[in-house]
């Protein structure tokens, strides 16, 4: 026989060497026995590295019919035959050794132990002792010197299945990174980050005593068929520090796993709760014992689970409220009227608070309140809200007047502070009302009613106040938008002798649009009429609209012709230097002297319609877009008007209204004007806008404007 061979084992990178040495020692024997030798060598070395405090050496001793593998480690603690499970990547090593080896055993050394196994060609399994009996027969040697005082900690009952699964997960994690380290040494996998390697080392060897005790108790309970394990740990006082490091290391490994999408390695939530509970309780008990004071009671695991459920529910509610606030913010971005604001806010608010109803009340010019919207209230309550005066002794009116929130949590509080509320809302037990304020003023109040007692905790109060802040900003935007839009249109249409006027404007959203019209006197029976569409929406479009409107007015009052007016406007816009800013505009001069005449110039705008005796004729543009090309030329169209003639100006929000792939277009326009024959100028303007809206499927994506005048008589 050949001489024994021994190699030093210092890390997982040497597992491959151990396998090769075992196979070489079995050379000439059966393939089955060679494979068995490789597997047993691998399992014994890996078990020593992961659970034996580090492997010291592997010795291969030749036998007449095979080999004896001896693995020495640095830990005198008996090995533990864990429960084999399909959910784990570890725990099957000693089971496998017991099945493949003819015999195996454990022998103490001065600094640790030697686990040996004999692999033969024709194994005769010794059946007198099972794997577990071999381990249980192990007598751990008494420690030399003074024994460190152990502090006993009774953590109470824990589900055995959870204990086993949590331990298996940590073992899986350690094995996965151990394999990665071995792969790095072999050059087959990417390097393991240095910081991560240190964390894994802390997980493997830190807090080892407690982990081993827990594992043994879990395995014993599982083998005995116990559903719960009473965890009792004996630990030195200085284990508190290693426990804290162990917990932090596992949390950091979790963070690494999440960041790198190693989902199989991230700790399951139930394991994380268990880990933080038992390690936290151990730290608390050990530090109290070290101080010499009375140790606090251990918080039972069941109580920790209940606390976690409370925290999870609070987190869920917070997340739900944040999601609803986001939904409200998105909806409010498109809300352009108080009614639209109320619709966007109240439904989400009632749902989030589980309220029975909600409403918004706004201050009117007098001492009354307006109600742009409610949700969940019956008709009787809505009617009472509409009649509520600003000086009413009711929560919403009070919040508006005083500028402070009202929180009514019980019937007694309701009746004491607002006795009138019982008759106003007999089924309401609790209520909150908060002011809707801007830095300049209080716009109104928002209220929510509840049919049961309600404790408005800090989170709910913050949610309601945040909802009120979003609502206030949206209401202010809607009001400013409406005021700005109105400032870009005539406050009222003038009276022109012998002529009937009508106009209609429909905005597509909250942002200020670029559609506009204007009518102004040029003296001596002459009137300027302009209608246009500036590109874009919002503040910049409003500024460009104002530039367009007042440039036209100024140029026209300099007695310039319609074509010259458009040329001046074009040059003014081109001088701005932004090719993205342009507009379409039609400008006409109406001369009401006998006979009435209209001279118009159209810069890229939809055709003007002349309706005579019920038949419409479309007058096409006489020039291109304004603001695109400097020195552009525009032409004029003179028209002699007769009594009854109707002239219709409109923007592309009418002619380009869409239903699927179909546009409202010229044919629909002419047909609509024919149907409106005999109507007043205002009825024609309103009817044209309404017809385009009815034709369109979905919400409008562009403003629409129409200006109409009719010649009543020719003087």
| Domain covering 5-136 in this structure, CATH number | 3.30.565.10
CATH superfamily of 336-478: GAF domain (3.30.450.40)
> Which of 63-77, 316-330, 390-404, 410-424 has the lowest average pLDDT?
316-330
> Are 391 and 369 a contacting pair, CB within 8 Å?
no
In this prediction, residue 262 carries a pLDDT of 61
- Using DSSP's 3-state secondary structure scheme, residue 490 falls into coil
In this prediction, residue 499 carries a pLDDT of 93
> Are 112 and 76 a contacting pair, CB within 8 Å?
yes
Instruction: Tell me the C-alpha distance between 280 and 297, whole Å.
Output: 13
In this prediction, residue 401 carries a pLDDT of 94
Q: Is the pLDDT of residue 377 over 90?
A: yes
**Higher per-residue pLDDT: 596 or 83:** 596
> Which of 142-151, 193-202, 479-488 has the lowest average pLDDT?
142-151
Average pLDDT over residues 686-708: 87
- The residue extents of the domains of the chain are 5-136, 151-299, 336-478, 488-711
In this prediction, residue 409 carries a pLDDT of 94
- Write the pLDDT tens digit of every residue in 358-371: 999 999 877 889 99
Q: Kindly state the helix (H) or strand (E) to which residue 153 belongs, with its residue range.
A: strand 151-159
Question: Residue 249 has which token pair?
Answer: 């290391």
**Higher per-residue pLDDT: 312 or 430:** 430
Average pLDDT over residues 188-209: 69
- Write the pLDDT tens digit of every residue in 23-56: 888 888 888 788 888 888 888 887 777 766 666 7
Q: Is the pLDDT of residue 137 over 50?
A: no
Instruction: Tell me the C-alpha distance between 87 and 214, whole Å.
Output: 19
Instruction: Tell me the C-alpha distance between 10 and 8, whole Å.
Output: 6
Q: Is the pLDDT of residue 677 over 80?
A: yes
Q: Is the pLDDT of residue 12 over 70?
A: no
- Alpha-carbon distances, residue 91 vs 71, 77, 169, 202 (angstroms): 18, 17, 11, 20
> Which of 227-241, 388-402, 567-581 has the lowest average pLDDT?
567-581
In this prediction, residue 618 carries a pLDDT of 95
Question: Residue 430 has which token pair?
Answer: 């609790």
In this prediction, residue 113 carries a pLDDT of 86
- Alpha-carbon distances, residue 652 vs 486, 608, 677, 703 (angstroms): 20, 11, 22, 8
Q: Which fold has domain 488-711?
A: Phosphatase 2c; domain 1 (3.60.40)
Q: Is the pLDDT of residue 570 over 50?
A: yes
> Which of 417-431, 446-460, 530-544, 603-617 has the lowest average pLDDT?
530-544
Question: Residue 264 has which token pair?
Answer: 């199989």
DSSP per-residue letters across 154-208: EEEEEEHHHHHHHHHHHHHHHHHHHHHHHHHHHTSSPPPPHHHHHHHHHHHHTTH
| Side-chain-side CA neighbours of residue 340 (13 Å) | 18
DSSP per-residue letters across 236-299: -TTHHHHHHHHHHHHHHHHHHHHHTT-TTTSPPHHHHHHHHHHHHHHHHHHHHHHHTSPPPPPP
Domain pair 336-478 / 488-711, same fold? no
Average pLDDT over residues 254-262: 72
Share of the chain above pLDDT 90, in %: 39
**Higher per-residue pLDDT: 46 or 409:** 409
* pTM of the entire predicted model: 0.53
Instruction: Tell me the C-alpha distance between 35 and 38, whole Å.
Output: 5
In this prediction, residue 284 carries a pLDDT of 93
- Alpha-carbon distances, residue 444 vs 161, 392, 461 (angstroms): 58, 13, 18
Average pLDDT over residues 257-280: 79
Question: Residue 490 has which token pair?
Answer: 């005539």
221 Cβ contact list (under 8 Å, min separation 6): 160, 163, 228, 229
- Write the pLDDT tens digit of every residue in 86-130: 444 444 566 677 778 888 888 888 888 888 989 988 654 443 444
């Amino acid at each position: 026989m050949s001489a024994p061979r021994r190699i030093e084992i210092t890390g997982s990178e040497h597992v491959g060497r151990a396998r090769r040495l075992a196979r070489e020692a079995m050379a000439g024997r059966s393939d089955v026995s060679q494979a068995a030798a490789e597997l047993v060598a691998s399992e014994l070395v890996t078990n020593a590295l992961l659970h034996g405090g580090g492997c010291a050496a592997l010795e291969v001793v030749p036998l007449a019919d095979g080999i004896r593998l001896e693995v020495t480690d640095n830990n005198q603690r008996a090995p533990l035959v864990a429960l084999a499970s399909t959910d784990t990547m570890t725990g099957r090593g000693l089971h496998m050794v017991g099945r493949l080896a003819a015999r195996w055993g454990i022998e103490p050394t001065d600094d640790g132990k030697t686990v040996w196994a004999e692999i033969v060609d024709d194994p005769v399994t010794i059946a007198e002792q099972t794997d577990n009996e071999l381990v249980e027969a192990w007598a751990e040697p008494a420690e030399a010197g003074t024994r460190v005082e152990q502090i006993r900690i009774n953590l109470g009952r824990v589900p055995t299945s959870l204990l086993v699964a949590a331990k298996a997960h940590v073992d899986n994690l350690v094995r996965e990174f151990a394999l990665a380290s071995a792969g790095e040494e072999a050059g087959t996998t990417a390097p393991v980050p240095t910081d991560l390697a240190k964390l894994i080392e802390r997980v493997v060897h830190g807090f080892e005593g407690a982990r081993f005790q827990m594992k043994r108790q879990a395995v014993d309970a599982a083998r005995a068929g116990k559903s719960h394990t009473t965890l009792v740990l004996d630990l030195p006082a200085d284990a508190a520090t290693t426990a804290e490091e162990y917990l932090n290391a596992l949390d950091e490994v979790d963070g690494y796993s999440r960041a790198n999408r190693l989902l199989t390695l991230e700790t399951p939530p139930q394991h994380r709760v268990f880990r933080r509970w038992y390690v936290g309780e151990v730290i608390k008990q050990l530090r109290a014992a070290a101080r010499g004071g009375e140790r606090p009671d251990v918080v039972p695991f069941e109580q920790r689970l209940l606390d976690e459920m409370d925290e999870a529910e609070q987190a869920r509610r917070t997340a739900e409220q944040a999601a609803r606030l986001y939904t409200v913010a998105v909806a409010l971005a498109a809300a352009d009227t108080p009614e639209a604001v109320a619709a966007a806010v109240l439904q989400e608010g009632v749902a989030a608070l589980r309220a029975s109803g909600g409403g918004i009340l706004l201050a009117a010019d007098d001492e009354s309140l307006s109600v742009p919207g409610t949700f969940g209230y019956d008709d009787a309550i809505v009617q009472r809200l509409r009649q509520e005066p600003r000086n009413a002794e009711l929560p919403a009116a009070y919040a508006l007047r005083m500028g402070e929130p009202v929180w009514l949590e019980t019937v007694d509080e309701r009746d004491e502070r607002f006795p009138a509320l019982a008759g106003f809302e007999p089924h309401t037990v609790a209520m909150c009302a908060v002011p809707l304020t801007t830095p300049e003023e209080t716009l109104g109040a928002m209220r929510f009613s509840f049919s049961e007692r309600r404790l408005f905790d800090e989170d709910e109060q913050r949610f309601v106040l945040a909802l009120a802040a979003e609502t206030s900003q949206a209401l202010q935007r809607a009001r400013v938008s409406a005021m700005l839009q109105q400032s870009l249109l005539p406050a009222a249409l003038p009276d022109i002798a012998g002529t009937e006027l009508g106009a209609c404007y429909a905005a597509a959203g909250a942002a200020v649009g670029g559609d506009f019209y204007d009518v102004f006197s040029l003296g001596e029976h002459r009137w300027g009429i302009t209608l246009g569409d500036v590109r874009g929406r919002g503040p910049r479009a409003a500024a460009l609209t104002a530039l367009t409107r007042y440039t036209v007015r100024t140029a026209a009052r300099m007695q310039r012709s319609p074509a010259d007016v458009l040329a001046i406007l074009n040059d003014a816009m081109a001088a701005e230097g932004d090719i993205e800013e342009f507009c379409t505009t039609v400008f006409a001069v109406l001369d009401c002297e006998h006979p009435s005449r209209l001279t118009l110039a159209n810069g890229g705008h939809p055709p003007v319609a002349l309706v005579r005796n019920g038949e419409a004729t479309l007058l096409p543009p006489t020039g291109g877009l304004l603001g695109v090309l400097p020195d552009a030329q525009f032409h004029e169209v003179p028209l002699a008007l007769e009594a009854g003639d109707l002239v219709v100006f409109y923007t592309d929000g009418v002619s380009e209204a869409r239903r699927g792939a179909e546009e409202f277009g010229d044919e629909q326009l002419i047909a609509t004007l024919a149907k409106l024959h005999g109507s007043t100028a205002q009825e024609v303007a309103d009817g044209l806008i309404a017809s385009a809206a009815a034709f369109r499927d979905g919400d409008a994506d562009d403003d629409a404007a129409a200006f109409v005048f009719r010649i009543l008589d020719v003087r």
